[in-house]
Chain A
Amino acid sequence: MKENHEVANNRGLLMSVLTDIHFWVPVVVLIGGLLLLRSIH
């Protein structure tokens, strides 16, 4: 029972992060940075 509750909590937490626009801005910038690095290396 306790384990199920923890899994649900973790899932909820992950959803909170993934639906947060603040999260995607750094992610997009990081991907852009890696692509830039790849293109200039």
Chain B
Amino acid sequence: MEAFPNSAMQTADQQASRARKLQALGILSGFTAGAWLGAAEAPTKLVSVGISPVIISLIMVIGVFLARWSLPALILGTSSIHADVRRAPHLIIWAVLAGCLWAVANTLTIFAIRDVGLSIAFPLWNSNSLLGILWGFIFFNELRQAGWRRWAGVLGGALVMCVGAAILAIASSEQGPASHSMRGVWAALGAGILWGTMYIPYRKAYLTGMNPLSFVTFFTFGELGMMGALASSYTGIGPLWHQLAGARDVLFWLMLGGFIWVIGDLFQQYAAKYVGISRGIPLSNSNQLWGLLWGVLVFGELHGRSGSQYAQVIGGSLLMMLGVGAIAFSSASGKEQTKWKQAAQRESERYGIASEYVAARMEGRQASDERKPVRRPLDWLLVAFATEVFVFFGAMARVPRMSLNWGVAAILSVASLVLLVVCGVALWRTTRFQ
């Protein structure tokens, strides 16, 4: 099967240059995703214990839902989402399915942390990157004809990251052995399998040309629907409402955590689109490193610990950076990208989507017959509504009395913002967020 032709206007050199640019963009998106997904843990640390983990997860998902509709409306407008759905309506099913997978995985992690602690649970579910590599290889031609060096870079990098993650998790863990260890192990492994498999719909969507901003708006229906169903079935509607009302002064922090998480996830989606899931997932898994930076330097989580624990943290961090570096330097070759295009053509034929559209979107361009996205009053209404909700809960929020290192918090915030601006501008200039 021959891959569909690229734009006839482009020479082979231009195509190769464009492909290299998109690979670099995907890697940068992966790094930015790691920073923002890690920063999302910060607001949740402001919430003291006493709220059910399922309720915490549900409130975060409500913040996520608001962000997943308002940010795409602000960036491109809902007209663009509507146009994408008309071209590839089957992807709604995939997006909702991915959202359901996310919600179940997230709930399993809560049980895993409770039963075996973060030190064992985190490395187990972090194995999702290895599963992502497997699915990428089997279903989407990723790492085909990539050569042993790239294989070693991606697989070796992911394995080194898993080891680094395990060391970091052990060093930062405060929990002792639990009574239901096997149950916790199964929950963590289950979460890893669900999250690793969730990337099948991601890759499917991006090979077929869907814009990440469109995909996440439908993804969130699965996410909120499944999370709402799980929360109400575990606690019952009445008690659920009581718990939500009782937690009103911390709702804002949890929703803010969800909002920041969405920013990270958006970049993760662009990473999955431009470097594939085999590289995109491990890169965005660097969020653990950022989460640790926030925890240790801002919230003083390791204060008073022994020198050996600090050595573990430094060693684990170095291993994670090594793994990230190995993957970042293993970008897809021309041969591998031809294989990706063959997978995209297969999708285009199966679902009857115009080849020109799929090819253009793979190159981060608009198809020639696409209209320029425009913002409508509905978009501004969505943005205004989401802002109102956040202002409402913000006014109700109680500022917790905690000792924080504000200087380091400012530095980490600025670093994350710099990454956001640099990556956002690069995405805009290169792809117009396509």
> B93 — which chain A residues lie within 8 A by C-beta?
17, 23
CB–CB B101/A13 < 8 A: no
User: A41 near B: Cβ within 8 Å?
Assistant: yes
Bound Cα distance A41, B350 (Å): 40
Q: A30-B101, A33-B108 are in contact. Are A13 and B190 (CB under 8 A)?
A: no
CB–CB A30/B104 < 8 A: yes
Interface secondary structure of B, over-half rule: helix
Bound Cα distance A12, B90 (Å): 10
CB–CB B107/A25 < 8 A: no
CB–CB A36/B187 < 8 A: yes
Among candidates A17, A36, A40, A41, residue contacting B90 with C-beta atoms closer than 8 Å: A17
Bound Cα distance A34, B100 (Å): 10
User: B351 near A: Cβ within 8 Å?
Assistant: yes
User: B390 near A: Cβ within 8 Å?
Assistant: no
User: B204 near A: Cβ within 8 Å?
Assistant: yes
Bound Cα distance A23, B96 (Å): 12
> A3 — which chain B residues lie within 8 A by C-beta?
none
> B122 — which chain A residues lie within 8 A by C-beta?
none
Chain A residue, CB-CB nearest to B183: A40
Chain A interfacial residues counted at CB < 8 A? 19
Chain A residue, CB-CB nearest to B189: A36
From residue A37, how far is it (CB to closest CB) to chain B in Å? 6
CB–CB B190/A26 < 8 A: no
Contact with A along B222-260 (1 / 0, CB 8 A): 000000001000100000000000000000000000000
From residue A6, how far is it (CB to closest CB) to chain B in Å? 11
From residue B363, how far is it (CB to closest CB) to chain A in Å? 23
Among candidates A13, A23, A33, residue contacting B194 with C-beta atoms closer than 8 Å: A33
Bound Cα distance A18, B183 (Å): 33
Among candidates B89, B100, B135, B139, residue contacting A13 with C-beta atoms closer than 8 Å: B89
User: B161 near A: Cβ within 8 Å?
Assistant: no
Bound Cα distance A26, B351 (Å): 18
> A36 — which chain B residues lie within 8 A by C-beta?
108, 186-187, 190
Chain B residue, CB-CB nearest to A12: B352
Contact with A along B35-65 (1 / 0, CB 8 A): 0000000000000000000000000000000
In the complex, chain A residues 1-41 whose Cβ is within 8 Å of any chain B Cβ: 12-13, 16-17, 20, 22-23, 25-27, 29-30, 32-34, 36-37, 40-41
Q: A26-B101, A29-B197, A30-B100 are in contact. List 19 more A-B contacts (CB 8 A).
A: A13-B89, A16-B90, A16-B351, A16-B352, A20-B350, A25-B135, A25-B139, A26-B200, A29-B194, A30-B97, A32-B193, A33-B193, A33-B194, A36-B108, A37-B108, A37-B190, A37-B230, A40-B187, A41-B234
Mind listing 11 A-B residue pairs with CB under 8 Å? A17-B90, A20-B350, A23-B93, A25-B200, A26-B200, A27-B97, A30-B97, A30-B194, A33-B193, A37-B230, A40-B183
Closest CB pairs A-B (n = 4): A33-B104, A29-B197, A36-B190, A33-B194
